[in-house]
Amino acid sequence: MPNRTSDIEQRATLKDIAERVGVHVSTVSRALNTETRSLVADELVQRILEAAEDLNYKPNRVALALRTRASMTVGVILPDIANATFPVLVHAIEATLATRKYSTLVAHAETGYPRKDTPLVDQLAARHIDGVILTTARRHHGIVDYCLKSSVPLVMVSRTEEDPRVSAVINDDIASMALAVRHVVELGHRRIAHLAGPADMSTGAARREGFIAAMREHKLEPSAIVRTKLYTREEGVLGAQEIFTIAPDTTAVITANDFLAVGCLDVIKASGRRCPDDVSVVGHNDMPLVDMIDPPLTTVRINYRQMGTEAALLMLRRLEDPTADAVMMTLRPKLVIRGSTGPAPR
Amino acid sequence: MPNRTSDIEQRATLKDIAERVGVHVSTVSRALNTETRSLVADELVQRILEAAEDLNYKPNRVALALRTRASMTVGVILPDIANATFPVLVHAIEATLATRKYSTLVAHAETGYPRKDTPLVDQLAARHIDGVILTTARRHHGIVDYCLKSSVPLVMVSRTEEDPRVSAVINDDIASMALAVRHVVELGHRRIAHLAGPADMSTGAARREGFIAAMREHKLEPSAIVRTKLYTREEGVLGAQEIFTIAPDTTAVITANDFLAVGCLDVIKASGRRCPDDVSVVGHNDMPLVDMIDPPLTTVRINYRQMGTEAALLMLRRLEDPTADAVMMTLRPKLVIRGSTGPAPR
DNA sequence: TCAGCTGCTACAAACGTTTGCAATACGAAT
DNA sequence: ATTCGTATTGCAAACGTTTGTAGCAGCTGA
């Protein structure tokens, strides 16, 4: 047996093709590139294409990135905490970027807010990232500054930015809350509370406003509005406890997130109430498995697959035409009625 | 206001430092590199370091990749179907790779088995990926051949390979099943069935064997063993139906996966039985939210965070010392007892 | 005094592309 | 016969690094 590395398949380069055809490498480059193919004689193009096929030539993206400063990769920044909705989001992003030969580099936002030296930014810059998709709902972020400053295309998901240069795809949180409120109102509820998300996440703020607006629409006064610090079950427990001490007569609580809803169910159960007989709960996002909990959660569904696809398409649009305007795309949410909501008691 | 692109921060290069210090770029390179720093005069090293600091120099990774053929990126191949366990896995991988300046490129395995032209392999090769972490349990895969052939370090998670050149971190599926079986046996169950995973996934096969071994240990005969085609709730329903037609007197079913367990609960409910009064169910993986379903699922927990970390460490080990042997690391599972298991009826 | 070593630095090639420019050849137009 | 496009190809520089080799001091030792 020969030594271990002897059988490495050496990838063919432009030079290999050039030698085989007996022509200069620049000619090969032009022949292979559809943009410049017209510059070389037809018959020669044929021979070069055949040789490329023979040698199974695949362009070296690293060299290409160095020369053209376009790395054909986009960075996807994920939140520092794992969230069940991200597999499908990332999958959708990666899949649609791959259709145009872009690769997906993932990174997680730094944990904690402390400014840190944002090595993440440097990392992205050092790799000549062509674009960034930000999926962290958390508000201020060094990445944004970096992208704006060096005019790297930026797309945000589930989050907006004032700057007109950034594209975004977001859920229509106003519509979400309108759906949720209308649903419980139609069930006869009048004492309705909101378990809101963190104020420093745009979804938290937007849904809170949406809730208030929807209540006003129905000429109702919220029985309570409580803010949480994180989208977690534990925070949901804390928040729900507060709601039921502030307004014990609440019969419906609309939450900003399924985790919060689950925490809410915990305290409902613990306090001897029953859901949905005594109090109804509606969640938000329709995360996997919330249809299996007890009771199955009524929630507002966000189509994360579509969200990922749209975000990637927005990115591709800007990458392939840098003059393209940034746009904001808002997706329509959908109410999914399950077992956690029912007629108001009495 | 000047034109829009005028204020792009031009990144400093070695040449910039060289000019400022009045020295050749190769000297700067050596001074900045700890390996070769001893070759340049101490006083000069100081001045160069200061200049680098001043100019906020960050090495250009793509140039580096071109020159050294090491891209400082590892590819992570995810399964084509989204799975709730992957956010934490990917997060752990990315975080530990990042500590050594490696980036994480994600890609999804091609959908469906048909051989396809494996553009994924080409994509990875074209980017000079330094290593690959495979998280798809599905058995044969072009990536494996590619990595072996071009001696790209390969680490598998939740999956083994015969070839001694690949490292792996896996769950101890034999131990998992031993825990699960012992638990229900101690509860008095004797008619125990196994709802097995797909045969073409190593977890499916391994857990099935583990179940059989564990049953033999207790000198019990399985009441039924049914294979599913996919780890989905729907397949779980189908499989569970089959179990209860083959062996209606089954009082405990041990599943290879939480989704299957949920499907199993569906048919138990639908058939008028109750869980855990009539039949107990134990899942596998401890996915998020399975503690919230009705009844809360007893399951075997896999520590995915640890799995991701270990996989990344294995990868780093091989990247930083190519002569390092491939190793297999098996993690100990843990039984989490909740509400879906109870004493055997009668 | 000079060969030879040592310590330091510069030069240049290389990694695999793209691309502006020059060079050649050919036919057409003057 | 000269000039001039036009079509095709080659040359070389460039992207930002690393690294083998060469050069040049100054020093040591005979």
Of B11, B87, B123, the CB nearest to A87: B87
| Per-residue confidence (pLDDT) for residue B285, from 0 to 100 | 95
Separation in Å: D25 C1' and B41 CA: 14
pLDDT in tens, A273-319: 999 999 999 999 998 889 888 899 999 999 999 999 999 999 999 99
Question: Do residues A222 and A189 lie in contact, with contact meaning Cβ atoms separated by under 8 Å?
Answer: no
Listed residue (A224, A269, A215) closest to A245, CA to CA:
A224
Q: Does A293 touch chain B (CB under 8 A)?
A: yes
Angle (CA) A299 A338 A282, round 5°: 35
Instruction: List the nucleotides on chain C closer than 7 A to a protein CB.
Output: 7-20
Q: In this complex, which residue's CA is closest to the C1' atom of nucleotide D9? A: A27
Out of A67-81, A112-126, B21-35, B102-116, which region has the weakest mean confidence (pLDDT)? A112-126
Is A294 in Cβ contact with B84 (below 8 Å)? no
With contacts defined as CB-CB under 8 Å, which chain A residues touch B101?
A: 123
**Chain B nearest CA to A211, separation (Å):** 26
| Per-residue confidence (pLDDT) for residue A121, from 0 to 100 | 78
Question: Do residues B288 and B258 lie in contact, with contact meaning Cβ atoms separated by under 8 Å?
Answer: no
Separation in Å: C10 C1' and A63 CA: 26
| Per-residue confidence (pLDDT) for residue A95, from 0 to 100 | 92
Strands (E), chain B: 73-78, 103-108, 131-134, 154-157, 167-171, 192-196, 224-227, 252-255, 280-285, 298-301, 328-331, 334-336
Is the pLDDT at A110 greater than 90? The verdict is no
Instruction: Say what the pTM is.
Output: 0.90
Q: Is A64 exposed, middle or buried (0-12, 13-18, 19+ CB in 10 A)?
A: middle
**Confidence band (pLDDT; 50, 70, 90) for A7?**
very low
Is the pLDDT at A323 greater than 60? The verdict is yes
| Per-residue confidence (pLDDT) for residue B145, from 0 to 100 | 84
Residue corresponding to tokens 């406003």: A209
Question: Do residues A288 and B84 lie in contact, with contact meaning Cβ atoms separated by under 8 Å?
Answer: yes
Q: In this complex, which residue's CA is closest to the C1' atom of nucleotide C13? A: B67
Separation in Å: D9 C1' and A27 CA: 7
**Chain A nearest CA to B323, separation (Å):** 12
3-state helix, strand, coil in chain A (%, to 5): 40, 15, 40
Task: Give me chain A's average pLDDT, please.
Answer: 90
More confident residue, B202 or A23: A23
Rg of chain A in Å (alpha carbons): 26
- Amino acid at the residue B5: T
Q: Does A87 touch chain B (CB under 8 A)?
A: yes
Is the pLDDT at A13 greater than 90? The verdict is yes
Tell me the CA distances in angstroms from B102 to A11, A120, B69, B129, one per residue in order: 23, 12, 14, 11
- Quote the CA–CA distance of A118 and A107 in Å, as a whole number: 12
| Per-residue confidence (pLDDT) for residue A164, from 0 to 100 | 86
Separation in Å: D13 C1' and A153 CA: 30
Is the pLDDT at A23 greater than 90? The verdict is yes
With contacts defined as CB-CB under 8 Å, which chain A residues touch B289?
A: 84, 262, 287-290, 292-293
Q: Is B73 exposed, middle or buried (0-12, 13-18, 19+ CB in 10 A)?
A: buried
**Chain A nearest CA to B329, separation (Å):** 24
Structure-token pair, residue B176: 């998992």
pLDDT in tens, A135-186: 986 665 678 888 888 889 999 998 888 888 899 999 999 999 999 999 999 9
| Per-residue confidence (pLDDT) for residue B123, from 0 to 100 | 84
pLDDT tens by residue, chain B, 346 residues: 333 333 345 689 999 999 999 999 999 999 999 999 999 999 999 999 999 999 999 999 999 999 998 999 999 999 877 777 888 999 999 999 999 999 999 998 876 544 444 568 788 888 999 999 999 866 656 788 888 888 899 999 988 888 888 999 999 999 999 999 999 999 999 999 999 999 988 899 999 999 999 999 999 999 999 999 999 999 999 999 999 999 999 999 999 999 999 999 999 999 999 999 999 999 999 998 898 888 999 999 999 999 999 999 999 999 998 888 999 999 999 999 999 999 999 7
Residues β-bridged to residue B170: B330
- Quote the CA–CA distance of B32 and B11 in Å, as a whole number: 16
The length of chain B in residues reads 346
Question: Do residues B157 and B168 lie in contact, with contact meaning Cβ atoms separated by under 8 Å?
Answer: yes
- Quote the CA–CA distance of A130 and A237 in Å, as a whole number: 42
**Chain A nearest CA to B40, separation (Å):** 26
Angle (CA) A204 A208 A212, round 5°: 175
Looking at chain A, the whole-number percentage of residues with pLDDT higher than 70 is: 92
Footprint of strand C on the protein (CB under 7 A): A 11, 13-15, 25-26, 29-30, 32-33, 35-36, 57, 59-60, 63-64, 66-68; B 22-27, 30, 38-42, 44, 63, 66-67
- Quote the CA–CA distance of B313 and B316 in Å, as a whole number: 5
Separation in Å: D3 C1' and B40 CA: 61
| Per-residue confidence (pLDDT) for residue A9, from 0 to 100 | 53
| Per-residue confidence (pLDDT) for residue B139, from 0 to 100 | 60
